[in-house]
Structure 1
Amino acid sequence: MKKLPIGIQSFEKIRTDNYYYVDKTYFIKKLIDEGGGYYFLSRPRRFGKSLFLDTLRYAFLGKRELFKGLYLEGNWDWDTKYPVIKISFGAGVIKDAENLKSLIISLIRNYSEKEGITIKEELLNKQFYELIEKLSVKYAQKVVVLIDEYDKPILDRIEDREKAIEIREELKNFYSVLKDADEFLKFVFITGVSKFNKVSIFSGLNQLNDITLDAEYSTICGYTQHDLETVFFDRLEGVNLDEVRRWYNGYSWLGESVYNPFDILLYLDKGEFRPYWFETGTPTFLIKLLAEKRFNIIEAEHLEVSEKVLGSFDIDAIYPENLLFQTGYLTIKDKKVINDRAIYTLSYPNREVKISFNDYFLSYLSQDTILTEKNKNRLFYAIDENDFNKLKEIFRSFFASIPFDWYRKNELAGYEGYYSSIVYAYFVASGFNVVAEDTTDAGRIDLTVLYKDRAYIIEFKVVELSSEGKALQQIKEKRYYEKYVGKVKDVYLIGVEFSKSDRNIVGFEWEKAENRG
Structure 2
Amino acid sequence: MKYPIGIQDFRELREGGYVYVDKTKTLFNILQQGGGYYHLHRPRRFGKSLLLSTMNELYRGNRELFEGLWIDNHWDWEGMQRPVIWLKFSSQGIRTMGLEAGLDAMLNGEANRLGIQLEKATFDLQFKELIQKASKENKVVLLIDEYDKPIIDYLDDPQVAEAHREILKSFYSILKDSDPYLELIFITGVSAFSKVSIFSDLNNLYNLSLVAAARTLLGITQDELEHYFAEPLARVDKAKVRQWYNGYSWGGTEKVYNPFSILSFFQGGGEYSNFWFETGTPTFLIREMKKRAYYFPERIEVSQNKLNAFDLTRLDPISVLFQTGYLTILKYEPEDHLYTLDYPNMEVRQSMEQSLLHEYLEGPIQDPLARVAGLRNALREGDIEGMVRIINALFASMPYDLWPQQQTERFFHAIIHLTFDLLGTYIRSEVHTANGRCDALVETADRIYALEFKLDKSAAEALQQIFDKGYLQPYADSPKQRVAVGLNFSSEERAVVAWESEVL
TM-score (norm 2): 0.94
Amino acid at match of 1:347: D
SS at match of 1:189: strand
User: Is residue 436 of structure 2 the alignment partner of residue 443 of structure 1?
Assistant: yes
Partner deviation per Cα, 1:405-433 (whole Å, 9 max, x = no partner)? 442276254576334334335524x5333
Aligned residue number for residue 385 of structure 2: 389
Partner deviation per Cα, 1:187-233 (whole Å, 9 max, x = no partner)? 11111112231542111211111111112211111111111111122
Aligned residue number for residue 106 of structure 2: 107
* 1:284–1:479 CA distance, 2 compared to 1 (3 A): same
Q: Percent identity?
A: 41
Query: For the residues of structure 1 that align with 2:486 and 2:23, how far apart are their CA atoms?
Result: 52
* 1:190–1:315 CA distance, 2 compared to 1 (3 A): same
Aligned residue number for residue 502 of structure 2: 511
Query: For the residues of structure 1 that align with 2:261 and 2:232, how far apart are their CA atoms?
Result: 15
Partner deviation per Cα, 1:102-149 (whole Å, 9 max, x = no partner)? 011001111112222121211211110110010001xx1111111111
User: Is residue 456 of structure 2 the alignment partner of residue 460 of structure 1?
Assistant: no
Query: For the residues of structure 1 that align with 2:176 and 2:54, how far apart are their CA atoms?
Result: 24
Amino acid at match of 1:281: G
Query: For the residues of structure 2 that align with 1:409 and 1:179, how far apart are their CA atoms?
Result: 53
Query: For the residues of structure 2 that align with 1:177 and 1:433, how far apart are their CA atoms?
Result: 56
Aligned residue number for residue 293 of structure 1: 292
Aligned residue number for residue 261 of structure 1: 259
Aligned residue number for residue 87 of structure 1: 87
* 1:180–1:403 CA distance, 2 compared to 1 (3 A): farther
Query: For the residues of structure 2 that align with 1:117 and 1:374, how far apart are their CA atoms?
Result: 59
Aligned residue number for residue 220 of structure 1: 217
Paired residues for 1:42-191 under 5 Å: 42-80=41-79, 81-91=81-91, 94-95=94-95, 99-137=98-136, 140-191=137-188
| Residue pair 1:414, 1:462 contacting (<8 A) in 2 also | no
Partner deviation per Cα, 1:367-389 (whole Å, 9 max, x = no partner)? 12535354223212102212111
Aligned residue number for residue 363 of structure 1: 358
Partner deviation per Cα, 1:60-107 (whole Å, 9 max, x = no partner)? 1111111111111111110031011111112366349x7111011001
- TM-align CA RMSD: 2.1
Partner deviation per Cα, 1:222-264 (whole Å, 9 max, x = no partner)? 1111111111223333222111111111111114101011111
Aligned residue number for residue 303 of structure 1: 300
Query: For the residues of structure 1 that align with 2:21 and 2:198, how far apart are their CA atoms?
Result: 32
1:457 offset after TM fit, Å? 1.7
Match of 2:349 among 330, 341, 354: 354
1:438 offset after TM fit, Å? 7.0
Match of 1:427 among 423, 435, 441: 423
> Mind listing any 5+ residue stretches in structure 1 that lack a counterpart?
none
Query: For the residues of structure 2 that align with 1:184 and 1:412, how far apart are their CA atoms?
Result: 60
* 1:203–1:348 CA distance, 2 compared to 1 (3 A): same
Moved more, 366-375 or 274-283: 366-375
Amino acid at match of 1:502: E
| Residue pair 2:210, 2:250 contacting (<8 A) in 1 also | yes
* 1:368–1:419 CA distance, 2 compared to 1 (3 A): closer
* 1:474–1:214 CA distance, 2 compared to 1 (3 A): same
| Residue pair 1:94, 1:156 contacting (<8 A) in 2 also | no
> Mind listing any 5+ residue stretches in structure 2 that lack a counterpart?
none
TM-score (norm 1): 0.91
| Residue pair 2:380, 2:446 contacting (<8 A) in 1 also | no
| Residue pair 1:438, 1:446 contacting (<8 A) in 2 also | yes
SS at match of 1:266: helix
1:490 offset after TM fit, Å? 2.6
| Residue pair 1:300, 1:347 contacting (<8 A) in 2 also | yes
Partner deviation per Cα, 1:37-75 (whole Å, 9 max, x = no partner)? 011111111011111111111111111111111111111
